[in-house]
């Protein structure tokens, strides 16, 4: 298919081309009866690795295990296609994958590190203290000193006992100007759980009674406000990040930093 445009001076552009394929007499209600997969090079329709499926109009392969033990280390392309009851094959779906050499799933994770934006090299980034294990699930603080205000990429990777490094995990975040809070203005409260994924309970010292709670983001904006004597507030709808809980008592204002996961 070609598309071109003409301007006010009667000049035509070069045509833009898109490749497309028209299937003859496709029947959308024809159930899927076969599926197969292959890596990198197409062996031909019906000659790839068969996938056992239940015939139907939709197909889900979320829990299907694909054998990769004979693939060499490096980048590979996985292709999956289906055939319907009319013997018509679909276009292949492609996924890029990377094969690590001699991975030992039982080898515990022993090291982790993080960096921002530019990779300093394997083993040269900021070390993360952790307890070795086959799985690691923990929070850690990152030092953002020296980073300019704006968007940045946080990269994290881990190494197992065999010395093999993982693929990098990336998170995009925005660094803003710090919220200025004077210690002379506020008293400290306690909040738990912290980090949290939803409800937070706020505890004030000396049995102070809460009259109002505000949740403030890193830009100083009030994102949640609750006029109530309840010491519990729901943060489930907030995006992941750092917030301040501001609790108003009879004659004092209390502040606590909290992490929303």
- What confidence tens digit (pLDDT) does each residue in 150-174 have? 889 999 999 999 888 888 888 888 7
- 135 or 82: which leads in pLDDT: 82
The predicted pLDDT at position 64 comes to 80
Radius of gyration (C-alpha) of the chain in whole angstroms: 28
Q: What is the pTM of this model?
A: 0.41
Determine the topology of domain 187-260 in CATH.
Immunoglobulin-like (2.60.40)
- What's the whole-number mean pLDDT along residues 106-113? 90
Report the chain's mean pLDDT, rounded to a whole number.
86
Residues of the chain with CATH 2.60.40.1930: 187-260
How much of the chain, in percent, has pLDDT values that exceed 90?
29
Does the pLDDT at position 181 exceed 80? no
pLDDT at residue 184 above 50? no
CATH number of 1-99: 2.60.40
**pLDDT range class, residue 194, cuts 50, 70, 90:** confident
* Most confident of the following: 72-86, 89-103, 195-209, 217-231: 72-86
Pick 109-175's CATH classification: 2.60.40, 1.25.10, 1.10.260, 2.30.29. 2.60.40
């Amino acid at each position: 298919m070609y598309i071109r445009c003409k301007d006010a001076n009667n000049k035509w552009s070069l045509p833009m081309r898109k490749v497309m394929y028209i299937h003859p007499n496709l029947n959308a209600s024809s159930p899927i009866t076969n599926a197969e997969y292959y890596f990198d090079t197409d062996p031909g329709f019906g000659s790839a690795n068969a996938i056992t499926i239940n015939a139907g109009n939709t197909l889900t392969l979320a829990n299907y295990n694909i054998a990769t033990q004979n693939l060499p280390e490096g980048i590979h392309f996985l292709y999956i296609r289906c055939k319907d009851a009319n013997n018509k094959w679909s276009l292949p779906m492609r996924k890029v994958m990377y094969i690590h050499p001699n991975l030992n799933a039982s080898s515990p994770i022993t090291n982790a590190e993080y960096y921002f934006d530019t990779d300093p090299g394997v083993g040269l980034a900021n070390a993360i203290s952790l307890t070795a294990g086959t799985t690691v699930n923990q929070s850690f603080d990152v030092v953002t000193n020296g980073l300019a205000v704006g968007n940045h990429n946080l990269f994290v990777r881990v190494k197992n006992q065999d010395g093999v490094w993982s693929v990098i995990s990336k998170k995009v975040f925005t660094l803003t100007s710090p919220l200025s809070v004077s210690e002379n203005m506020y008293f400290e409260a306690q909040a738990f759980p912290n980090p949290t994924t939803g409800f937070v309970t706020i505890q004030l010292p000396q049995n102070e009674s809460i009259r109002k709670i505000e949740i403030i983001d890193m830009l100083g904006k009030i994102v949640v406000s609750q006029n109530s004597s309840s010491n519990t507030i729901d943060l489930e709808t907030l995006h992941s990040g750092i917030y301040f809980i501001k609790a108003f008592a009879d004659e004092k204002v209390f502040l606590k930093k909290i992490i929303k996961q």
